[in-house]
Amino acid sequence: MIDAVIPIVVRVAINALALLAATLVPGIELGSSSTGGKIGTLVAVAVIFGIVNAVLKPIIKVIGCGFYLLTLGLIAVVVNALLFLLVGWLAQQVGLAFSVDGFWAGFWGAIIVAVVSFFLSLVIPDKYDKR
């Protein structure tokens, strides 16, 4: 049981740190005032982020595979920006103090989250990962 939970916790922590880095982008706001509130908000948004990416991204890739081929994969940046906007909207709908104001904030936020989570995944070893 614990072997199945630890990789999920590590992935949520990596996403939360990447989302914290994304708040440096103008238009991405983390509105909690206390440190505990910020950490809780980041963890909750990281869970929403993981669920959105796990559920919607594969569906979008299958449905839009022609656009991915036509644009040589560049549409993926637009899709990631729109999914990041969706995460911000969903976070506000459940009462979390996290907002993404506009496409360009989502665009740069998605890029920062992708880069930071990639490098954190390299630095933080996941000994339970069976890939």
3-class SS of residue 30: strand
Distance CA 47, CA 38 (A): 14
What is this structure's pTM? 0.87
Delimit the domains of the chain by residue range.
2-123
3-class SS of residue 115: helix
Return the exposure string of 51-61: e unless at least 16 CB atoms fall within 10 Å of the residue's CB, then b. eebeeeeeebe
Distance CA 39, CA 37 (A): 5
The pLDDT, as a whole number, for residue 73 is 86
Ordered mean pLDDT values, 10 residues apiece, the chain (131 residues): 77 93 94 87 95 92 89 91 95 94 95 94 70 54
The pLDDT, as a whole number, for residue 31 is 85
Distance CA 59, CA 23 (A): 27
Distance CA 59, CA 63 (A): 6
95: left (phi over 0), alpha (psi -120 to 50) or beta: left
The pLDDT, as a whole number, for residue 127 is 63
The pLDDT, as a whole number, for residue 28 is 95
